[in-house]
Chain A
Amino acid sequence: MSAALAALLDPARTTADGPVAGYVGADVPVELLTAAGYHPVRLSGSPHEDASDGIGYLGGGLDPAACSVLTRLLHGGYGPLDVLVVSRDCEASLRLFYVLRELARVEPAVALPPLHLIDVLHLPHRTTTRYVRAKVRGLRGWLQQRCGHTVSGDELAAAVAAHDRVRGLLRAVGELRGQRRLTGTEALGVVAATTRLPVHRAEELLTALVAELPGRDPRPGHPVYLTGSSHDCPDVYTALEDAGLLIVGEDHDRGDLLSTMDVGVPAGAADVDALDLAVAERYQHNGPSAPRAAIAERAAHTAAALRGRGAAGLLSYVREHDDGPPWDFPAQRDAAGVPAAIVERQAYGLIDPSELDRALSALGVPAVVA
């Protein structure tokens, strides 16, 4: 394994770089957190920990990954967080925000960081852009109050440029996945590392990785493109690749979808209002994610990305209570042009062995699970 890959996949090497801003969801503009002097850390759940406290607050009808995040927050599982910013990238994130806000109101003894919702919407309309720009501006104002200084245009431009460079490097890593230089499990770990490392450290390691990977032998496995739920832990990827698949791409926001678009530093970079607008348009139009995009848009994206990576099959993995992806699948299947299969209502971090066998058969891969 390359040195850069080993460093990226080792969570123990993550150390806080200044005050920490925890965030939930890919719709949080991390540029603003960095510009305000925070170290952004995306919060993930774990299927290996008891999440009953989170379920108690969020109910049994919500994505268990969100229940796990809430449980970890309640138990201090992320260490000290100076602020917490939640996006509305999916219904589970929004409901998580509402419960946190209500907990802060009615159970003040529960220790929670200062909390803010960033309501990024996604319809491709000018009216939506104006709304999202107001929300970006509101987040910047809130962060300025918390950190005690005004974010300058230069600071925001520098943060935008740094995060754009990381996105560009992630896209380069994605191209190398098309050449089979990384397993899907490794790629998932690389993307996760960039959401918890300080941005300059992520950039260093990704630069090294992109230089090292072309010399690596291709990874084995039947190449498939993964759609459906987002994955905040490697368990399902590992199970799929242990079964003989090689996940060469995915359309969720903890994988390829995180880096499909840049913000871009506009002309007159020091103008913070222009930067707010650039950030707003990037987050409004980034995607298309399963919870927020139209079925047709998803199908077109999935088919194009699948072809771009040379995948021989399409697999949709859907976690229980993740309501969007199963509606996408029929159109994705029709557009894919390769064998396709779906496994639905799966427990967090798991794939039912018989469902896996059925999917492998549909994809034309010999079953390896008894």
Chain B
Amino acid sequence: MSAPTPRLPSAAAATAHQRQWFADLHRDHTPGDPLALVNADAPQEVFRAMGIPYVVNQWWASIVAAKRRTQDHLARLRERGYPDYTEQYSSTALGSAFDTDPDSAPWGGLPTPSLVLAETTGDASRKIFDVWGAQPGVTFYPLESAAADTVPERWWELMPHRWEEAVGTDRLDLMVGELEGLIRFLEATTGRRFSEQRFTEVMALVNEQEEWNRRTRDLIAAARPCPIAVTDSIPAVMIPQWHRGTVWARDAARRLHDEVADRVRAGAAVCPDERVRLMWVGRGLWFDLDFYRRFQDRYGAVFVWSMYLAIAADGYIRHVDPDSGDPLRALAARFAAFSDQLYTPPWSAEWYVKEARTHGVHGVVHLVSDDARGSWATTRALRAAGVPVLELHADNVDARRSDPEHLDGTVGRWLEAEVLPRTDG
């Protein structure tokens, strides 16, 4: 394996910040005080504006997976009669609720939330949160998740300003109603106030942060060779993402941009012998992050893209007309169709093709989990655009079906058979 490029300072800083933030949460949180556990695609900005701390469900699952503790957590579900084979990414944190030895848990364990918030997506997600809601002192607040009959294809061009057109009025009306209900519920149960001025500030900070991410994504797309590893870009983007709406998060995004710009100017390379540019479509392989570097020495193959920076760049920005706009409707527009951007054709399929082209990738590794999302539309669209695609069947947190030898062998054979013959390398 080639000597890894030095870790990006902004990635190290983000990780350190998260550790300190979580330690402070442990220190400061009194059981019974407001604390939310929220899904990744939930409107966290409301909590930010009201000063209610929150932990992101999927972030916690990634920490548990990285510490190789997912199986412990799933076993606790199994012991209570719940399935350990559905939506593991969303159900892992529930295993923490049943931990009888939290002191040995990663990062000191997950404090018990007073509120869990999730959209009613899929057939199992809301059930997982129902179980949360049955725990002492925990309330589940569900949000509707609506689907559209027809959608415009090039959503990424519409979202920043013309989000009403992209998402549709019915879905936005519904989500605004849902958010107003959530705010009233939080006001009534926590005693915290929702300040419209504070919320407007939060929304502005989020847009600034994601605009920095958009510039960073564009820099990386144009750079040859690739200046940073996805294992650096993921924490450098996602930890600030969970803190979005804060000055720290906005500045962290700008710092990431500046460091990437410096590296591009200096001609820094993740893999000096870059021959193959790869795109990773799917959630991060949290239990085996070394995976992303293992193809550099033998094949000169570098993962230049993951969805985390790209969706930050295209999926969050919702500008509000300063004279007539409603920031709450803009927040509704951020989340009323969020998962469609990643998982629902034609939005998802056309977006991955756009990103593959702008990043000049030679191939796509598409993580296909054993869930309902399906892969056909994305794989078809990429192949129709002339991009080789490997469908890698694995779960991103549950390693039971994903031993590294199998993953490496599958990717290696695909590179040799389909990708390398099409490159100069």
Is chain B found bound to chain A in the same assembly?
yes
By a beta-carbon cutoff of 8 Å, the part of chain A in contact with chain B is 56-62, 88, 90-92, 94-95, 97-99, 101-102, 105-106, 116-117, 119, 121-123, 125-128, 130-131, 134-135, 138, 290-292, 294-296, 321-324, 326-331, 333, 344-345
**Inside 8 A of B344's CB, which chain A residues have their CB?**
98
Residue-wise, chain B 64-83 has the 8 Å CB interface mask toward A (1 for contact) of: 00000000000000001111
Q: Pull 25 A–B residue pairs with CB atoms less than 8 Å apart, ordered by A.
A: A59-B373, A60-B370, A61-B369, A61-B370, A61-B373, A62-B372, A88-B147, A92-B372, A94-B147, A97-B147, A99-B345, A105-B346, A106-B380, A121-B120, A127-B173, A128-B174, A130-B173, A290-B123, A292-B123, A295-B130, A296-B134, A323-B86, A324-B127, A327-B82, A330-B82
Query: How far does the alpha carbon of A344 sit from the alpha carbon of B124 in the complex, in Å?
Result: 14
Asked whether A294 and B174 contact (CB < 8 A) given A98-B344, A101-B345, the answer is no
Given contacts A88-B147, A91-B122, contact A59 B130 (CB under 8 A): no
Interface flag for B320 (CB, 8 Å): no
What 12 additional pairs, Cβ within 8 angstroms, besides A322-B123, A330-B80? Answer: A61-B369, A62-B372, A127-B178, A128-B144, A138-B170, A292-B123, A294-B126, A296-B134, A321-B372, A323-B86, A327-B82, A327-B131
Closest A residue to B180 by beta carbon equals A127
CB-nearest residue of chain B to A137: B170
Q: Which residues of A contact B134 (CB under 8 A)?
A: 295-296, 331
Assess whether B349 is interfacial by the CB under 8 Å rule: yes
* Most A-side CB within 10 Å, residue of B87, B123, B177, B381: B123
Q: Interface residues of B: mostly helix, strand, loop or mixed?
A: loop
Complex: A326 Cα to B124 Cα, angstroms: 9
Kindly provide the distance from the CB of B169 to the nearest chain A CB, expressed in whole angstroms. 9
Instruction: Give the residues in chain A near B126, CB-CB below 8 Å.
Output: 294
Q: Which of A57, A122, A327 contacts B127 (CB 8 A)?
A: A327
Would you call B142 an interface residue if the criterion is a C-beta within 8 Å of the partner chain's C-beta atoms?
Answer: yes
CB pair A121 B370 closer than 8 Å: no
Contacts A60-B370, A130-B174, A131-B144; A102 near B124 (Cβ below 8 A):
no
List 5 A-B pairs, minimum CB-CB distance, nearest first: A127-B177, A327-B127, A323-B124, A324-B123, A330-B81
Closest approach, in angstroms, between the C-beta of A61 and any C-beta of chain B? 4
B127, B145, B349: which has the most chain A beta carbons within 10 Å? Answer: B127
Q: Verify B81–A294 contact, CB threshold 8 A.
A: no
In Å, the complex CA distance between A97 and B124 comes to: 19
Q: How far is the CB of A356 from chain B (nearest CB, A)?
A: 19
Pick from A105, A290, A323 the residue with the most CB of B within 10 Å.
A323
> CA A125 – CA B181 in complex, angstroms?
10
B130 touches A294 (CB 8 A): yes
Across the interface, do A117 and B147 meet the contact criterion of CB distance under 8 Å? yes
**Neighbour of A295 across the interface among B131, B144, B147, B377, CB < 8 A:** B131
Interface size on B, residues (CB 8 A): 48
B157 at the interface (CB under 8 A from A): no
Q: Do B82 and A323 have beta carbons less than 8 Å apart?
A: no
Q: Is the CB of A134 within 8 A of B170?
A: yes
Separation of A91 and B125 alpha carbons in the complex (Å)? 11
A319 to chain B, nearest CB (A): 12
B4 at the A interface (CB under 8 A): no
Min Cβ gap A173→B in Å is 28
A146 to chain B, nearest CB (A): 14
Indicate if B51 sits at the interface (CB-CB under 8 A).
Answer: no
CA gap between A95 and B376 in the complex, in Å: 11
How far apart are the CA atoms of A136 and B84 in the complex, in Å? Answer: 37
Once A128-B144, A131-B174, A294-B126 are accepted as A-B contacts, the answer to whether A326 and B370 lie under 8 Å apart by CB is: no
- The residues of B that contact A130 with a CB separation of less than 8 Å are 173-174, 177
> Contacts of B206 on A, CB cut-off 8 Å?
none
- Known A-B contacts A98-B345, A127-B177; the reply to A57 vs B376 at CB < 8 A is yes
A322 / chain B contacts, CB cutoff of 8 Å? 123
Closest to B393 in A: A60
Instruction: Tell me the bound Cα distance from A221 to B370 in angstroms.
Output: 38
Distance in angstroms between the alpha carbons of A290 and B174 in the assembled complex: 23
**Residues of chain B with a CB closer than 8 A to A106's CB:** 380-381, 384
Q: Which residue in B123, B177, B178 is a CB contact (below 8 Å) of A323?
A: B123
Q: Which residues of B contact A321 (CB under 8 A)?
A: 370, 372
B368 at the interface (CB under 8 A from A): yes
Asked if B291 is at the interface of the complex by the 8 Å CB criterion, the answer is: no
**Chain A residues whose CB sits within 8 angstroms of the CB of B371 once the complex forms:** 61
* CA–CA, A327 and B120, complex, Å: 14
B233 to chain A, nearest CB (A): 28
CB of B138, distance to nearest CB on chain A (Å): 14
